[in-house]
Amino acid sequence: MYDKFSVLKQIDGWLAEDIGHVDLTAQLMIDSDAVATFHMNAREPMIVAGIEVAALVFTHYDSAVTVEVLVRDGETVEAGAPLAVVSGPARSLLTAERTALNIVQRLSGIATETARYVRAIAHTRARLLDTRKTTPGLRMLEKHAAVCGGALNHRLGLDSGVMLKDNHIAVCGGIANAVRRAREQTPVLTRIEVECDRLDQVAEAVEAGADVIMLDNMSIPDMAEAVRRVAGRARLEASGGIRLDTIATVAETGVDFISTSRPFQSAPAVDIGLDHGAAR
């Protein structure tokens, strides 16, 4: 989920960064009246994310460009699958090509990597959450990509919920005081989450009435014990050092959520090409 108005403002910056003063090659080598058609194709298996954003890059740069989008975000495609057909003034297509491909390759890479983590815990009740450790300027779109891969969004920003971390708690004089203060002032529909790294803190957070408790860098035995002690009185989120080879074991403790930034930080861009179809 993303806001089209906000994306259009970002596209201006993306294009300005790539073009500079002028696309020298396109202006020198391509006739001003040349028209072309290009096919955007997947060159490896992937989960698509950002295809409509890529289309917006082309049409926002030049309203004479038309884009036929052939897939939807969240779809799984195989190598060779057609994603879109782009037609219009050849200069414009070639100028906007790299920016459009960069964003759809990046977002589809995140969606594809996220799906690997989701599949690893599919046999449990746990749901995968994303984090705020996103690329500056791309949070809205990267979180959209995470959802395309099957994750749930955590906080979109600092205004999306109250998360009481160790430093907040220390300044407030303890978990009980921190939760009480937050509860007195937080909008009624906003959740309060408390970060805990010890079982005694978990007990205090439950007693204070936290809605969600983050089990931060806890051992597997301690996570399982936290699940037993909390017994459904708060939702439990496991976080810290989660990897693809460890996430299933974490999920099997019985936690409700597992948050990790790895799909953002380690996902390779997938291979998508813009192949020439016809020109006149």
Strand 127-129, strand 76-77: pairing: unpaired
Identify which of 188, 192, 191, 200 has the alpha carbon closest to the alpha carbon of residue 168.
192
pLDDT at 1 over 80: no
Identify which of 62, 66, 60 has the alpha carbon closest to the alpha carbon of residue 12.
60
Amino acid at 230: V
Work out the pLDDT band at 3, boundaries 50, 70, 90.
confident
Interatomic CA distance for residues 139 and 143, integer angstroms:
6
Domain-wise residue ranges, the chain = 4-117+268-279, 118-266
Q: From residue 239, how far is each of 35, 62, 126, 131 by CA, in Å? A: 52, 44, 12, 10
174-207 pLDDT, tens digit each:
999 999 999 999 998 899 999 999 999 999 999 9
- The answer to whether domain 4-117+268-279 and domain 118-266 are alike in fold is no
Please give the CATH number for the structural domain made up of 4-117+268-279.
3.90.1170.20
Identify which of 237, 184, 175, 233 has the alpha carbon closest to the alpha carbon of residue 208.
175
Sign, Cα dihedral of 170, 173, 179, 181? negative
Amino acid at 107: L
pLDDT at 280 over 90: no
The confidence score (pLDDT) of residue 219 equals 97
85-127 pLDDT, tens digit each:
999 999 999 999 999 999 999 999 999 999 999 999 999 999 9
131-163 pLDDT, tens digit each:
999 999 999 999 999 999 999 999 999 989 999
Catalytic residues: 98, 133, 165, 195, 216
Chain mean pLDDT for the chain = 95
CB 266 within 8 A of CB 236: no
Please give the CATH number for the structural domain made up of 118-266.
3.20.20.70
**What predicted TM-score, i.e. pTM, was given to this entire model?**
0.93
The confidence score (pLDDT) of residue 2 equals 81
The confidence score (pLDDT) of residue 277 equals 67
Q: Which of 2-6, 13-17, 163-167, 276-280 has the highest mean pLDDT?
A: 13-17
CB 274 within 8 A of CB 101: yes
Interatomic CA distance for residues 93 and 157, integer angstroms:
35
CB 227 within 8 A of CB 254: yes
Output the six-digit token pair for 7: 């994306």
198-239 pLDDT, tens digit each:
999 999 999 999 999 999 999 999 999 999 999 999 999 999
Is 96 strand, coil or helix?
Answer: helix
Interatomic CA distance for residues 144 and 4, integer angstroms:
12
pLDDT at 278 over 70: no
